[in-house]
Structure 1
Amino acid sequence: MARQKIIDSEAKLLAMPEQDYMNDAQLAFFRQRLTDERLSLESVLAQTRQTIVESRGDGDDADLAANEETLRLLLRQADRETRLLRKIDSTLNRLDDGDYGYCDETGVPIGLKRLLLRPTATLCLEAKERQESREHHYAKRRSA
């Protein structure tokens, strides 16, 4: 039921005319979506941190090694979640400042379809492709 409501809300956004880009309804939709994602992520992060705190190094060498690997994975997960929380906070600030939905590099609209897939996007598709191309180019140069 909740999933259908989300699909219906997204369909309403996509049906809006282009000149209504980032109108009050769209901004409210993305603010709610980001806020919900933030709350969910905070809950998961708190649970991950609690698991890390509660992990113990009891047992033989094999148990300790398995526990170390699990702890390493949990720390990586917590790091990713923390970075995503910062990105969501930054995106909410962009909403407050009136910059949300527009490319940092070019100033053109990012597009509803892209924002529905990645609400924290700061670059339009073309700018993101250029960025990834540059990153790939530099990575190839470093490995050569």
Structure 2
Amino acid sequence: MNAVQLAFFRQRLLNERAELEAHLNEVKTAIASHERDSDEADQASFEEELRLSLRQADRESRLINNIDAALQRIENGEYGFCEETGEPIGLPRLLFRPTAKLCIEAKERQERKEHHFRKARGE
């Protein structure tokens, strides 16, 4: 991957990270500013929305960690290479998922293995 491509992915990851942080801050602000409602239906509605927001925030926090790891791989010169095979991941896959650590073949093997284990456990 050339320097221009690396710069593109670095900026894309930084932009996505900033958007996620902004959304997480909005969720924190909404939680902090909520006053307990005396109407049970309104309170139940808020609690359901809160539960969904917290699940989304948890996913976004994990994604921020993945973005940080991808940015570190850019700094280390490891970005764009499969952690399993060492082969290039490929630009189409990185454009779709800029945090990808595995090439498509390695990811498919991982998913087949996970599916096999779930099936063996009866899930």
* TM > 0.5: yes
- Separation in 1 of the partners of 2:105 and 2:78? 18
What's the counterpart of residue 104 of structure 1? 83
Alpha-carbon shift at residue 60 of structure 1 (Å): 2.8
Equivalent position to 1:72, from 51, 54, 63? 51
Query: Do 1:56 and 1:67's aligned partners in 2 also have CA atoms closer than 8 Å?
Result: no
Indicate yes or no: 2:112 matched with 1:133: yes
Structure 2: stretches of 5+ with no match in the other structure: none
Paired amino acid for 2:8: F
Q: Deviations over 1:99-124 (max 9, x none)?
A: 00000000000000000010000000
Paired letter, 1:66: S
What residue in structure 1 maps to residue 19 of structure 2? 40
d(CA) in 2 for partners of 1:89, 1:133:
27
Q: How many residues align?
A: 123
Q: Show the counterpart of 1:118.
A: 97
The one-letter code of the counterpart of 2:87 is: V
Letter aligned with residue 67 of structure 1: F
Question: Following the alignment from structure 1 to structure 2, what is the Cα–Cα distance between the partners of residues 76 and 52?
Answer: 14
Report what 2:3 is aligned to: 24
Does 2:121 match 1:142? Answer: yes
**Do 1:110 and 1:124's aligned partners in 2 also have CA atoms closer than 8 Å?**
yes
- C-alpha separation in 1, matches of 2:42 and 2:51: 14
Q: What is the root-mean-square deviation in Å for CA atoms of aligned residues?
A: 1.2
Gaps (5+ residues) in structure 1?
1-21
Distance in 2 (alpha carbons) for counterparts of 1:28 and 1:66: 44
Identity %: 59
One-letter identity of the residue aligned with 1:54 = S
Deviation of 1:33 (Å): 0.8
TM-score by length of 2: 0.94
Q: Deviations over 1:78-103 (max 9, x none)?
A: 11111111110010000000000000
Q: Following TM superposition, by how much is the alpha carbon of 1:31 offset from its aligned partner in structure 2, in angstroms? A: 0.7
- 1:87 maps to amino acid: N
- The residue that corresponds to 2:63 in the other structure is 84
Q: Give 1:62 deviation, angstroms.
A: 2.0
Amino acid at match of 2:23: V
